[in-house]
Amino acid sequence: MTTADQAPASATHGWTDAWLAAFEAAAADPVMLLTGERLLDRADIGQVHINPGTAKTTLTAPKASRPHQPCVSVSLIPGPEWERIYRAIAATGEHADNIAAGRLPDTRTTFAGADVLPIAPAACDITFTCSCRPDPGICPHSAAVGYRVAQHVRANPGVLLTLRGGSMKELRTLLRSPKPTDPAPAPGAEPAQTGIDAHDAFSRFTARPTHPQSARERTTRTVPAPPLDGLRSDPPAPAPTVLALRLLARDAAARARDLLAGRPVPVGDDPVQDAARLLADPAHRAHLEHAAEQLGLSILQMRDLALAHEYGGAAGVEAALWPLAADARVLAHAEAAIQPHRPAPLASLVSQDNQLTDAAARIQLRLGSDGLWYPFTDWHGTWRPAPGPSRNPGTAYKAARRALRDR
Protein backbone atom coordinates (compact mmCIF):
# COMPACT_ATOMS: atom_id res chain seq x y z
CA MET A 1 0.00 0.00 0.00
CA THR A 2 1.23 3.48 -0.82
CA THR A 3 1.97 5.65 2.19
CA ALA A 4 1.79 9.38 2.48
CA ASP A 5 5.55 9.85 2.32
CA GLN A 6 5.97 7.51 -0.68
CA ALA A 7 3.58 9.06 -3.18
CA PRO A 8 1.39 12.11 -3.54
CA ALA A 9 -2.10 11.89 -2.16
CA SER A 10 -3.54 11.91 -5.67
CA ALA A 11 -1.68 8.71 -6.68
CA THR A 12 -3.88 5.72 -7.48
CA HIS A 13 -1.50 2.75 -7.55
CA GLY A 14 -2.87 1.32 -4.30
CA TRP A 15 -6.44 1.15 -5.58
CA THR A 16 -5.27 -0.35 -8.90
CA ASP A 17 -3.19 -2.98 -7.10
CA ALA A 18 -6.11 -3.83 -4.81
CA TRP A 19 -8.42 -4.33 -7.80
CA LEU A 20 -5.86 -6.36 -9.79
CA ALA A 21 -5.09 -8.63 -6.82
CA ALA A 22 -8.77 -9.51 -6.38
CA PHE A 23 -9.57 -9.73 -10.11
CA GLU A 24 -6.59 -11.97 -10.99
CA ALA A 25 -7.23 -14.23 -7.98
CA ALA A 26 -10.89 -14.58 -9.02
CA ALA A 27 -9.88 -15.46 -12.60
CA ALA A 28 -7.34 -18.08 -11.42
CA ASP A 29 -6.26 -18.78 -15.01
CA PRO A 30 -2.90 -17.26 -16.03
CA VAL A 31 -3.34 -18.09 -19.71
CA MET A 32 -6.74 -16.38 -19.91
CA LEU A 33 -5.35 -13.35 -18.06
CA LEU A 34 -2.36 -13.00 -20.38
CA THR A 35 -4.62 -13.41 -23.41
CA GLY A 36 -7.09 -10.85 -22.09
CA GLU A 37 -4.33 -8.32 -21.41
CA ARG A 38 -3.06 -8.82 -24.93
CA LEU A 39 -6.55 -8.09 -26.31
CA LEU A 40 -6.37 -4.57 -24.84
CA ASP A 41 -4.17 -3.53 -27.77
CA ARG A 42 -5.48 -5.91 -30.42
CA ALA A 43 -9.27 -5.94 -30.00
CA ASP A 44 -11.92 -3.33 -30.74
CA ILE A 45 -13.22 -2.56 -27.24
CA GLY A 46 -16.18 -0.24 -26.77
CA GLN A 47 -16.78 2.02 -23.82
CA VAL A 48 -16.82 0.10 -20.54
CA HIS A 49 -20.07 0.87 -18.72
CA ILE A 50 -19.41 0.80 -14.97
CA ASN A 51 -22.57 0.57 -12.88
CA PRO A 52 -23.35 -0.73 -9.39
CA GLY A 53 -22.32 -4.39 -9.48
CA THR A 54 -21.26 -4.63 -13.14
CA ALA A 55 -18.63 -3.53 -15.66
CA LYS A 56 -19.58 -4.51 -19.21
CA THR A 57 -18.77 -3.62 -22.79
CA THR A 58 -18.88 -4.87 -26.37
CA LEU A 59 -15.62 -6.40 -27.63
CA THR A 60 -14.69 -7.58 -31.10
CA ALA A 61 -11.57 -9.76 -31.19
CA PRO A 62 -9.16 -9.61 -34.15
CA LYS A 63 -10.61 -11.31 -37.24
CA ALA A 64 -13.79 -12.17 -35.32
CA SER A 65 -17.02 -12.37 -37.27
CA ARG A 66 -19.16 -11.03 -34.44
CA PRO A 67 -18.72 -9.01 -31.23
CA HIS A 68 -19.00 -10.44 -27.73
CA GLN A 69 -20.56 -8.93 -24.61
CA PRO A 70 -18.26 -9.66 -21.65
CA CYS A 71 -19.25 -8.62 -18.13
CA VAL A 72 -17.40 -8.53 -14.81
CA SER A 73 -19.81 -8.63 -11.86
CA VAL A 74 -18.89 -7.44 -8.37
CA SER A 75 -20.98 -8.04 -5.25
CA LEU A 76 -22.44 -4.90 -3.70
CA ILE A 77 -21.75 -3.64 -0.19
CA PRO A 78 -25.10 -3.51 1.68
CA GLY A 79 -26.66 -0.04 1.71
CA PRO A 80 -26.59 0.49 5.51
CA GLU A 81 -22.84 -0.14 5.55
CA TRP A 82 -22.06 2.79 3.26
CA GLU A 83 -22.85 5.48 5.83
CA ARG A 84 -20.32 3.91 8.20
CA ILE A 85 -17.71 3.75 5.40
CA TYR A 86 -18.31 7.38 4.42
CA ARG A 87 -18.03 8.53 8.03
CA ALA A 88 -14.83 6.51 8.53
CA ILE A 89 -13.29 8.26 5.53
CA ALA A 90 -14.49 11.70 6.58
CA ALA A 91 -13.35 11.18 10.18
CA THR A 92 -9.73 10.92 9.12
CA GLY A 93 -9.71 14.58 8.11
CA GLU A 94 -7.01 13.70 5.52
CA HIS A 95 -6.93 14.69 1.88
CA ALA A 96 -10.29 16.47 2.00
CA ASP A 97 -9.35 18.50 -1.08
CA ASN A 98 -8.65 15.39 -3.12
CA ILE A 99 -11.90 13.74 -2.09
CA ALA A 100 -13.80 16.93 -2.78
CA ALA A 101 -12.28 16.84 -6.28
CA GLY A 102 -13.58 13.30 -6.78
CA ARG A 103 -10.45 11.31 -5.92
CA LEU A 104 -9.72 8.76 -3.21
CA PRO A 105 -6.28 8.89 -1.55
CA ASP A 106 -4.10 5.80 -1.72
CA THR A 107 -3.30 6.10 1.96
CA ARG A 108 -6.79 4.77 2.70
CA THR A 109 -7.04 1.85 0.31
CA THR A 110 -9.38 -0.23 2.49
CA PHE A 111 -10.66 2.15 5.21
CA ALA A 112 -10.89 -1.02 7.28
CA GLY A 113 -11.83 -0.61 10.92
CA ALA A 114 -13.34 -2.83 13.52
CA ASP A 115 -16.83 -2.40 12.07
CA VAL A 116 -16.17 -0.98 8.61
CA LEU A 117 -16.13 -3.06 5.44
CA PRO A 118 -13.30 -2.54 2.94
CA ILE A 119 -14.20 -0.90 -0.36
CA ALA A 120 -11.90 -3.01 -2.54
CA PRO A 121 -13.54 -6.36 -3.38
CA ALA A 122 -12.17 -9.78 -2.50
CA ALA A 123 -11.70 -12.55 -5.08
CA CYS A 124 -14.95 -14.22 -3.93
CA ASP A 125 -16.85 -11.00 -4.76
CA ILE A 126 -16.01 -11.15 -8.51
CA THR A 127 -17.61 -13.32 -11.22
CA PHE A 128 -17.36 -13.37 -15.02
CA THR A 129 -19.85 -13.91 -17.84
CA CYS A 130 -19.60 -13.52 -21.62
CA SER A 131 -21.68 -14.24 -24.70
CA CYS A 132 -18.83 -16.44 -25.98
CA ARG A 133 -19.67 -19.20 -23.49
CA PRO A 134 -22.94 -20.60 -22.10
CA ASP A 135 -21.87 -20.79 -18.46
CA PRO A 136 -20.22 -18.24 -16.14
CA GLY A 137 -16.42 -18.25 -16.06
CA ILE A 138 -13.32 -16.37 -17.12
CA CYS A 139 -12.61 -15.94 -20.85
CA PRO A 140 -10.19 -13.68 -22.75
CA HIS A 141 -12.95 -11.10 -23.33
CA SER A 142 -13.98 -10.76 -19.67
CA ALA A 143 -10.29 -10.75 -18.67
CA ALA A 144 -9.78 -7.78 -20.99
CA VAL A 145 -12.67 -5.99 -19.27
CA GLY A 146 -11.04 -6.61 -15.88
CA TYR A 147 -7.79 -5.00 -17.06
CA ARG A 148 -9.68 -2.10 -18.64
CA VAL A 149 -11.41 -1.53 -15.27
CA ALA A 150 -7.92 -1.37 -13.72
CA GLN A 151 -7.08 1.47 -16.13
CA HIS A 152 -10.27 3.30 -15.10
CA VAL A 153 -9.44 2.80 -11.42
CA ARG A 154 -5.95 4.20 -12.00
CA ALA A 155 -7.46 7.34 -13.53
CA ASN A 156 -10.36 7.64 -11.07
CA PRO A 157 -10.55 5.34 -8.02
CA GLY A 158 -14.10 6.56 -7.41
CA VAL A 159 -15.32 4.01 -9.94
CA LEU A 160 -14.66 1.34 -7.28
CA LEU A 161 -17.28 3.01 -5.11
CA THR A 162 -19.72 2.84 -8.03
CA LEU A 163 -18.92 -0.84 -8.66
CA ARG A 164 -19.56 -1.66 -5.01
CA GLY A 165 -22.79 0.34 -4.86
CA GLY A 166 -21.48 3.55 -3.30
CA SER A 167 -21.33 7.16 -4.48
CA MET A 168 -18.55 9.74 -4.56
CA LYS A 169 -21.26 12.41 -4.59
CA GLU A 170 -22.59 11.26 -1.22
CA LEU A 171 -19.05 11.14 0.19
CA ARG A 172 -18.31 14.68 -0.99
CA THR A 173 -21.62 15.88 0.44
CA LEU A 174 -20.72 14.43 3.82
CA LEU A 175 -17.31 16.13 3.73
CA ARG A 176 -18.91 19.50 2.97
CA SER A 177 -21.41 19.14 5.81
CA PRO A 178 -20.37 21.07 8.96
CA LYS A 179 -19.27 18.82 11.79
CA PRO A 180 -20.84 19.28 15.25
CA THR A 181 -17.49 20.51 16.59
CA ASP A 182 -17.00 23.06 13.83
CA PRO A 183 -17.49 26.67 15.00
CA ALA A 184 -20.37 28.54 13.39
CA PRO A 185 -19.26 31.16 10.88
CA ALA A 186 -19.15 34.70 12.22
CA PRO A 187 -21.81 37.11 10.94
CA GLY A 188 -20.70 38.63 7.65
CA ALA A 189 -17.78 36.20 7.28
CA GLU A 190 -16.97 34.67 3.91
CA PRO A 191 -18.29 31.10 3.49
CA ALA A 192 -15.74 28.33 3.88
CA GLN A 193 -14.25 27.22 0.60
CA THR A 194 -14.09 23.60 -0.54
CA GLY A 195 -12.27 22.02 -3.43
CA ILE A 196 -8.79 22.92 -4.65
CA ASP A 197 -7.06 25.99 -5.99
CA ALA A 198 -7.65 26.58 -9.73
CA HIS A 199 -3.91 26.75 -10.50
CA ASP A 200 -3.39 23.45 -8.65
CA ALA A 201 -6.27 21.85 -10.56
CA PHE A 202 -4.88 22.98 -13.92
CA SER A 203 -1.36 21.74 -13.08
CA ARG A 204 -2.80 18.32 -12.24
CA PHE A 205 -4.71 18.28 -15.52
CA THR A 206 -1.64 19.08 -17.61
CA ALA A 207 0.46 16.53 -15.69
CA ARG A 208 -1.92 13.64 -16.37
CA PRO A 209 -0.66 10.80 -18.65
CA THR A 210 -1.66 11.20 -22.28
CA HIS A 211 -2.33 7.49 -22.69
CA PRO A 212 -3.56 5.10 -19.97
CA GLN A 213 -0.80 2.96 -18.56
CA SER A 214 -0.95 -0.79 -18.99
CA ALA A 215 -2.35 -2.50 -15.92
CA ARG A 216 1.01 -4.15 -15.29
CA GLU A 217 3.31 -1.16 -15.98
CA ARG A 218 3.97 -0.40 -12.34
CA THR A 219 7.72 -0.76 -12.04
CA THR A 220 10.78 0.02 -14.15
CA ARG A 221 12.85 -3.03 -14.88
CA THR A 222 16.62 -2.84 -14.93
CA VAL A 223 18.16 -4.43 -17.99
CA PRO A 224 21.09 -6.63 -16.93
CA ALA A 225 24.50 -6.08 -18.47
CA PRO A 226 25.62 -8.65 -21.07
CA PRO A 227 27.23 -11.69 -19.44
CA LEU A 228 31.00 -12.00 -19.72
CA ASP A 229 32.62 -15.17 -21.03
CA GLY A 230 34.51 -15.52 -17.77
CA LEU A 231 31.34 -15.41 -15.60
CA ARG A 232 31.22 -18.63 -13.59
CA SER A 233 28.73 -17.93 -10.81
CA ASP A 234 25.20 -16.55 -10.82
CA PRO A 235 24.84 -12.78 -10.29
CA PRO A 236 22.90 -11.65 -7.20
CA ALA A 237 19.13 -12.15 -7.24
CA PRO A 238 16.86 -11.14 -8.83
CA ALA A 239 19.15 -11.08 -11.87
CA PRO A 240 18.89 -14.06 -14.28
CA THR A 241 21.16 -17.03 -13.73
CA VAL A 242 24.29 -17.58 -15.81
CA LEU A 243 22.48 -20.29 -17.80
CA ALA A 244 19.59 -17.94 -18.53
CA LEU A 245 21.93 -15.14 -19.56
CA ARG A 246 23.79 -17.43 -21.96
CA LEU A 247 20.47 -18.64 -23.40
CA LEU A 248 19.37 -15.04 -24.00
CA ALA A 249 22.74 -14.16 -25.54
CA ARG A 250 22.55 -17.14 -27.93
CA ASP A 251 18.99 -16.23 -28.87
CA ALA A 252 19.93 -12.59 -29.50
CA ALA A 253 22.85 -13.70 -31.70
CA ALA A 254 20.60 -16.05 -33.69
CA ARG A 255 18.00 -13.32 -34.22
CA ALA A 256 20.74 -10.90 -35.32
CA ARG A 257 21.97 -13.46 -37.89
CA ASP A 258 18.43 -13.85 -39.22
CA LEU A 259 18.04 -10.09 -39.53
CA LEU A 260 21.33 -9.76 -41.39
CA ALA A 261 20.33 -12.61 -43.71
CA GLY A 262 16.98 -10.98 -44.45
CA ARG A 263 14.96 -13.70 -42.74
CA PRO A 264 11.81 -12.73 -40.81
CA VAL A 265 12.28 -12.35 -37.07
CA PRO A 266 9.28 -12.65 -34.71
CA VAL A 267 8.49 -9.50 -32.75
CA GLY A 268 6.20 -8.84 -29.81
CA ASP A 269 6.22 -8.61 -26.04
CA ASP A 270 3.89 -11.48 -25.13
CA PRO A 271 5.84 -13.50 -22.52
CA VAL A 272 3.93 -16.72 -23.26
CA GLN A 273 4.65 -16.51 -27.00
CA ASP A 274 8.30 -15.65 -26.37
CA ALA A 275 8.77 -18.51 -23.90
CA ALA A 276 7.15 -20.94 -26.34
CA ARG A 277 9.49 -19.70 -29.09
CA LEU A 278 12.59 -20.20 -26.95
CA LEU A 279 11.52 -23.61 -25.67
CA ALA A 280 10.68 -24.85 -29.16
CA ASP A 281 14.44 -25.33 -29.53
CA PRO A 282 15.23 -28.73 -27.94
CA ALA A 283 18.51 -27.27 -26.64
CA HIS A 284 16.48 -24.98 -24.36
CA ARG A 285 14.07 -27.59 -22.96
CA ALA A 286 16.06 -27.71 -19.71
CA HIS A 287 14.48 -24.33 -18.88
CA LEU A 288 10.90 -25.54 -19.42
CA GLU A 289 10.04 -26.11 -15.76
CA HIS A 290 11.42 -22.72 -14.71
CA ALA A 291 9.53 -20.93 -17.52
CA ALA A 292 6.28 -22.64 -16.54
CA GLU A 293 6.72 -21.56 -12.93
CA GLN A 294 7.43 -17.94 -13.89
CA LEU A 295 4.35 -17.77 -16.15
CA GLY A 296 2.04 -19.54 -13.72
CA LEU A 297 1.49 -22.49 -16.10
CA SER A 298 1.76 -26.20 -15.53
CA ILE A 299 4.73 -28.02 -17.02
CA LEU A 300 2.32 -29.86 -19.34
CA GLN A 301 0.82 -26.56 -20.60
CA MET A 302 4.27 -25.08 -21.20
CA ARG A 303 5.43 -28.20 -23.04
CA ASP A 304 2.34 -28.16 -25.28
CA LEU A 305 2.87 -24.48 -26.14
CA ALA A 306 6.51 -25.18 -27.00
CA LEU A 307 5.33 -27.99 -29.31
CA ALA A 308 2.74 -25.64 -30.85
CA HIS A 309 5.50 -23.17 -31.72
CA GLU A 310 7.77 -25.93 -33.02
CA TYR A 311 5.01 -27.13 -35.37
CA GLY A 312 3.38 -23.83 -36.34
CA GLY A 313 5.24 -20.81 -35.02
CA ALA A 314 3.39 -17.92 -33.39
CA ALA A 315 0.12 -18.74 -35.15
CA GLY A 316 0.33 -22.29 -33.81
CA VAL A 317 0.71 -21.00 -30.25
CA GLU A 318 -2.21 -18.64 -30.80
CA ALA A 319 -4.38 -21.56 -31.97
CA ALA A 320 -3.36 -23.55 -28.90
CA LEU A 321 -4.09 -20.72 -26.46
CA TRP A 322 -7.65 -19.63 -27.19
CA PRO A 323 -10.62 -20.09 -29.58
CA LEU A 324 -10.89 -17.72 -32.55
CA ALA A 325 -13.86 -16.75 -34.65
CA ALA A 326 -14.27 -18.50 -38.02
CA ASP A 327 -16.66 -18.21 -40.96
CA ALA A 328 -19.39 -20.87 -40.92
CA ARG A 329 -18.86 -21.57 -44.63
CA VAL A 330 -15.17 -22.30 -44.03
CA LEU A 331 -16.07 -24.75 -41.26
CA ALA A 332 -18.67 -26.44 -43.46
CA HIS A 333 -16.09 -26.85 -46.24
CA ALA A 334 -13.64 -28.35 -43.73
CA GLU A 335 -16.24 -30.83 -42.47
CA ALA A 336 -16.79 -32.06 -46.02
CA ALA A 337 -13.02 -32.24 -46.66
CA ILE A 338 -12.25 -34.46 -43.65
CA GLN A 339 -15.27 -36.75 -43.98
CA PRO A 340 -13.54 -39.31 -46.29
CA HIS A 341 -10.65 -39.64 -43.80
CA ARG A 342 -12.68 -40.24 -40.63
CA PRO A 343 -12.45 -43.77 -39.20
CA ALA A 344 -16.04 -43.48 -37.93
CA PRO A 345 -17.82 -41.27 -40.48
CA LEU A 346 -21.18 -41.54 -38.70
CA ALA A 347 -19.84 -40.40 -35.32
CA SER A 348 -20.73 -36.88 -34.20
CA LEU A 349 -18.57 -33.99 -35.36
CA VAL A 350 -18.70 -30.83 -33.24
CA SER A 351 -18.08 -27.42 -34.80
CA GLN A 352 -17.46 -24.48 -32.44
CA ASP A 353 -15.62 -21.20 -33.05
CA ASN A 354 -12.57 -22.17 -35.15
CA GLN A 355 -12.53 -25.80 -33.95
CA LEU A 356 -13.71 -29.06 -35.50
CA THR A 357 -13.74 -31.89 -32.96
CA ASP A 358 -14.01 -35.59 -33.86
CA ALA A 359 -14.16 -37.01 -30.33
CA ALA A 360 -14.52 -40.60 -31.49
CA ALA A 361 -11.26 -40.35 -33.46
CA ARG A 362 -9.56 -38.29 -30.68
CA ILE A 363 -8.78 -35.53 -33.21
CA GLN A 364 -9.42 -31.80 -33.24
CA LEU A 365 -8.58 -29.29 -35.98
CA ARG A 366 -8.23 -25.56 -35.29
CA LEU A 367 -8.19 -22.86 -37.95
CA GLY A 368 -5.32 -20.45 -37.25
CA SER A 369 -5.20 -16.72 -37.94
CA ASP A 370 -2.78 -17.50 -40.79
CA GLY A 371 -5.36 -19.64 -42.62
CA LEU A 372 -3.73 -22.99 -41.72
CA TRP A 373 -5.56 -25.87 -40.06
CA TYR A 374 -3.66 -27.02 -36.97
CA PRO A 375 -4.06 -30.66 -35.88
CA PHE A 376 -4.50 -31.63 -32.22
CA THR A 377 -4.86 -35.07 -30.65
CA ASP A 378 -6.43 -36.15 -27.38
CA TRP A 379 -3.78 -36.81 -24.74
CA HIS A 380 -5.38 -38.01 -21.51
CA GLY A 381 -8.16 -35.45 -21.69
CA THR A 382 -6.18 -32.51 -23.11
CA TRP A 383 -5.67 -31.47 -26.72
CA ARG A 384 -1.98 -31.72 -27.61
CA PRO A 385 -0.57 -30.05 -30.76
CA ALA A 386 0.49 -32.43 -33.52
CA PRO A 387 2.88 -31.78 -36.43
CA GLY A 388 1.56 -31.11 -39.91
CA PRO A 389 -0.54 -27.92 -40.15
CA SER A 390 -1.94 -27.40 -43.63
CA ARG A 391 -4.25 -25.18 -45.63
CA ASN A 392 -6.09 -28.35 -46.58
CA PRO A 393 -8.17 -29.57 -43.60
CA GLY A 394 -8.11 -33.11 -44.99
CA THR A 395 -4.29 -33.10 -44.98
CA ALA A 396 -4.21 -31.74 -41.41
CA TYR A 397 -6.69 -34.43 -40.32
CA LYS A 398 -4.50 -37.17 -41.78
CA ALA A 399 -1.49 -35.64 -39.98
CA ALA A 400 -3.39 -35.97 -36.68
CA ARG A 401 -4.20 -39.62 -37.37
CA ARG A 402 -0.55 -40.26 -38.22
CA ALA A 403 0.51 -38.64 -34.92
CA LEU A 404 -1.84 -40.95 -33.01
CA ARG A 405 -0.39 -44.03 -34.75
CA ASP A 406 3.20 -42.93 -34.04
CA ARG A 407 2.73 -42.61 -30.28
Would you give the DSSP letter of residue 91?
Answer: H
Provide mean pLDDT across the span 41-64: 87
Q: What is the pLDDT of residue 128?
A: 96
- On the question of pLDDT at 177 being above 90, the answer is no
Cβ-defined contacts of 304-310 (< 8 Å, 24+): 304/382, 304/384, 304/385, 305/272, 305/275, 305/276, 305/279, 306/275, 306/276, 306/279, 306/280, 307/280, 307/384, 307/385, 308/276, 308/374, 308/385, 309/273, 309/276, 309/277, 309/279, 309/280, 310/280, 310/387
355-358 and 350-352 beta bridge pairing: antiparallel
Q: What is the pLDDT of residue 235?
A: 72
- On the question of pLDDT at 109 being above 70, the answer is no
Which of 72-76, 90-94, 104-108, 313-317 shows the highest mean pLDDT?
72-76
- On the question of pLDDT at 360 being above 90, the answer is yes
Q: What is the pLDDT of residue 331?
A: 92
pLDDT tens digits for range 266-306: 665 578 888 888 888 877 877 888 888 878 888 888 999 99
Provide mean pLDDT across the span 295-322: 89
Secondary structure, 3-state, 333-354: HHHHHHHHHCCCCCCCCEEECC
Angle between helices 299-321 and 30-42 (to 10 degrees): 30
Classify the C-alpha dihedral 111-112-115-119 as positive or negative: positive
Average pLDDT, the chain: 78
- On the question of pLDDT at 333 being above 50, the answer is yes
State the pLDDT confidence band at 380, using cuts at 50, 70 and 90: confident
Q: What is the pLDDT of residue 321?
A: 87
Percent of the chain past pLDDT 90, that is, above it, reads: 30
Distance between CA atoms of 78 and 256, rounded to whole angstroms? 59
- On the question of pLDDT at 104 being above 60, the answer is yes
Q: Record the pTM.
A: 0.48
